[in-house]
Structure 1
Amino acid sequence: MNAFEIHGGKPLKGEIIPQGAKNEALQILSAVLLTEEKMTISNIPDIKDVNKLIDLLRSLGVVVNQLNKDTYEFQAKDINIDYFTSEEFKQKGGSLRGSIMIVGPLLARFGKAAIPKPGGDKIGRRRLDTHFLGFEKLGAKFVYDADNHFFNVDATALKGTYILLDEASVTGTANIIMAAVLAKGTTTIYNAACEPYLQQLCKMLNRMGANISGIGSNLLTIEGVDSLGGTEHRMLPDMIEIGSFIGLAAMTGSEITIKNVAYKELGIIPTVFSRLGIKMELKGDDIFIPAQDSYEIDTFIDGSILTISDAPWPGFTPDLLSIVLVTAIQAKGNVLIHQKMFESRLFFVDKLIDMGAQIILCDPHRATVIGLNKQTQLRGIQMSSPDIRAGVSLLIAALSAQGKSTIFNIEQIERGYQDIEQRLVALGADIKRVEAQPMGH
């Protein structure tokens, strides 16, 4: 078992470059299946979930050339459609939630696909109904094979239609768009997700010859076309990483510059962190965060306690609520964190309480953080990471804590963050990878 050993409590300093956006990568890479022409994609993050998807594309018959660390060329000319029914696909597809994303493009181009029942993060139920209902509306038929735990999908004649999504699912919207771009006629998707990742996907598809309008809104109109061509695409920087580094700077009292953040794509994220009292300056396209001894949480205008909750874009992304919660531990003042979209994402707060944080877990969705205002430091403990975002939140807590912390199950962190320890060491963090037996063994 790999673990991180962290000696915390000292300020960091320097520059850090965010990786390419993980959530965008899973959509963009799946879209290479929509054309037999060459696709060149850059700023691809080197992380497990993305590498697994690239590996899956190779197995399907996509020719993959890595041009440099973050740039690949893809050509999906000869696809082996029977690969779906193989035992190998069941293994590979089943271990990666992102594998659902290849279904839309395959249905669109080949009229059929199959998917094993998916796995992924332990953050409560993550339904795939939105994807399936959308495909069905476009005319696909699903047959669940209970013996093999496979969904077989037949979509020989997809037709444009009006779709009102039951939830503004990012991956669901992306998947349906990829199926609809080659369907006959017009598809209208209402209550569509409109995250920057999705806007990136739509813009790229349009460069390939698709006809999508309403990009950036929750009402998309897609005129089906006969075929798509190749293009080049560069991923946005990962906004979850950018938010994580803002929180890290505040908690550890560090002076950090986050480079090339694509600021106009960050939406409300900088505003939420500034409401926690964190000072930031935009210099060109870099965010400079000065070292702060203290940061004070804003209140609402009537003086009542600030609530920070997640909402579909352009609201605040649920992926950063864990980071906001951790950052608030050392702020001056109180804040209620309300995690609306996923249950059980707040269950890592018991570890923070063990470290000395003042947090009241009200229920599976709400936690009140009573800021310590850096009057007492957290103390290092041994802990295990339940999901990607909680893992990084615990990492931030450990870097701000006094003494030694050990974080187990770091595979969860590495699913989403590339070379995280080298990048933190470059800022002056005392963090190293160790072989360790988890607690209770």
Structure 2
Amino acid sequence: MAAFKIEGGASLSGEITPQGAKNEALQILSAVLLTSEPVTIHNIPNIRDVNKQIELLKDFGVKVDQLEEKGSYRFEASGVDLKFLETETFRSKASSLRGSIMLIGPLLARFGEAQMPQPGGDKIGRRRLDTHFIGLKQLGANFDFDAQRHRYFVKAEQLTGKYILLDEASVTGTANLVMAAVLAKGKTTIYNAACEPYLQQLCKMLNRMGANISGIGSNLLEIEGVEVLGGTTHTLLPDMIEIGSFIGLAAMTKSEITIKNVRIDQLGLIPNTFRKLGIRIEEKGDDLFIPAQEHYEIDTFIDGSILTIADAIWPGFTPDLLSILLVVATQAKGTVLIHQKMFESRLFFTDKLIDMGAQIILCDPHRATVIGLDRKYPLRGIRMTSPDIRAGVSLLIAALSATGTSVIDNVEQIDRGYQDIDERLRALGAKIERIN
């Protein structure tokens, strides 16, 4: 098991470029199973979760070629072997990766069957899969859950288009249903669909492959099924969660950082939400420049009441950045209520921040009140463990701003979502090393 040893308190400076989007990559990689023709994907991040998804595709018999350009791959799913579904290797690999659930839609649509063990991922509370399977059943799939083997099964000789009203705007659920519906017979309408930029990217790619999807960017998708899809080339967006993490890093460490090529048009509320904490962010072309700040002050609502920042489905604020905002608020001037609506275990990492000297009241599993210290009492270094990807990076940011030495164990969690994060931070001047 690896750990990060961090000497905190150093100001950073320089430029950093975000990796390709992890959450988009897991959807796009799943979609290569929908065609026997080559699909080329650029800007794929070299991180654990994405590499696991690529390994699964190889195990299915997908031909994978790494191209000369960094992060570029060509996939050809002309010889998919469904017998791999029955192997212990599949059970082991798929159960360790949450994104593996999005293989179900493409496999069912093209080959008429799929199965999946209960997938893993971050331990951030209940993450039910009902939306996926209820939608697939509405398209005509037969569904079975083997409780003893903890395995889901779906089969369908022919999927048929249907009007589907989702009970939740699940991103992965919407992606699965879209990938199933593009090869279904007739018209599928998905209402209350997720409309995140990464889901829009998936739909645009499928249309280039020959699908007929309209309503992209809205919560009402209409899909006219086609008989076959062809190959295409696709480039992933920059990772908006990395971008938000770097904004928080600059603020906490009083650093001057330029975040390059961020696709500002795809960031939604992210920059303005950080601005509510008093962080100055300048847009320079397609770059974000965060100047060094000694102090930043949290806004209040118009009537003077304490600011509340909550997550919401897109175009609301992404839940993946609430942990970062919470850490940043610990050294701001003022008070903020962080309301994590979607996952009931994501705020439990605050006990580590309290040990570092932060003033946080964990009201319940979903809400935390942060009383900013205005840098009068800097956080102090401690030893801690990364519980999940986003909390892990939040603790890393806290450690970089703290006085003294911190050690973060279980950094494999961070590696699941952030490419070469220690090397990239050292290039900015951070005192961080990977130890065993």
TM-score by length of 2: 0.99
Q: Distance in 2 between matches of 1:167 and 1:143?
A: 21
1:183-227 residue CA offsets vs partner (Å, 9 max, x unmatched):
000000001000000000000000111000000000000000111
Q: Which amino acid aligns with 2:64?
A: V
Distance 2:182 2:35 in 1: 11
Tell me by how many angstroms 1:147 deviates.
4.3
Per-residue deviation, residues 205-261 of structure 1 (Å, max 9, x unmatched): 001110000000000000001111100000000000000000000000000000000
Is 1:259 aligned to 2:260, yes or no? yes
CA distance in 2, matches of 1:347, 1:151: 30
Q: How much does 1:150 deviate?
A: 2.3
Q: Match of 1:439?
A: none
* Partner residue, 1:357: 358
Give the aligned partner of residue 152 of structure 1. 153
Residue 33, structure 1, aligned to residue 26, structure 2: no
Shift of the alpha carbon at 1:79?
Answer: 0.7
Residue identity opposite 2:227 in structure 1: D
Q: Any idea what SS the aligned residue of 1:200 has?
A: helix
88-97 or 314-323, which deviates more: 88-97
> Do residues 58 (structure 1) and 27 (structure 2) align?
no
Structure 1 residue 146: deviation in Å?
3.8
What does 1:188-203 correspond to in 2, within 5 Å?
A: 188-203=189-204
Q: Report the alpha carbon displacement of residue 330 of structure 1 after superposing the two structures with TM.
A: 0.7
Which secondary structure does the structure 1 equivalent of 2:67 belong to?
strand
- 1:179 matched to 2:186? The reply is no
Q: Report how many aligned residue pairs link the two structures.
A: 435
Aligned sequence identity (%): 74
1:2-29 CA deviation, whole Å, 9 max, x = no partner?
Answer: 1000000111000001000000000000
In structure 2, how many angstroms separate the alpha carbons of the residues matched to 1:307 and 1:41? 39
Structure 2 distance, partners of 1:159, 1:204, is 22
Matched, 1:78 2:90: no
The answer to whether 1:374 aligns with 2:364 is: no
Q: What is the letter of the counterpart of residue 46 of structure 2? A: D
Q: In structure 2, give the amino acid aligned to 1:400.
A: S
Deviations 1:239-285 (A, max 9, x none): 00000000000000000000000000000000100010100111110
CA displacement 1:57-97 (0-9 Å, x = unmatched): 00101000000330000000011012111121111111111
TM-score by length of 1: 0.98
Residues 218-367 of structure 1 mapped to structure 2, 5 A cutoff: 218-367=219-368
> 1-side partners of 2:283 and 2:340: how far apart?
29
The CA deviation at 1:178 is: 0.1
For 2:340 and 2:197, how far apart are their aligned partners in 1? 21
Q: Which residue of 2 aligns with 1:419?
A: 420
Q: How many Å apart are 1:153 and its aligned residue?
A: 1.3
Deviation at 1:152, TM superposition (A): 2.1
Which range moved further: 91-100 or 14-23? 91-100
In 1, the alpha carbon distance for the partners of 2:92 and 2:363 equals 39
The residue number in structure 2 matching 1:7 is 7
Residues 1:396 and 2:411 aligned together: no
Q: What SS does the aligned partner of 2:124 have?
A: coil
Unpaired runs of 5+ in structure 1? 436-441
SS class of match (1:389): helix
CA distance in 2, matches of 1:258, 1:167: 33
Q: Which amino acid aligns with 2:240?
A: M
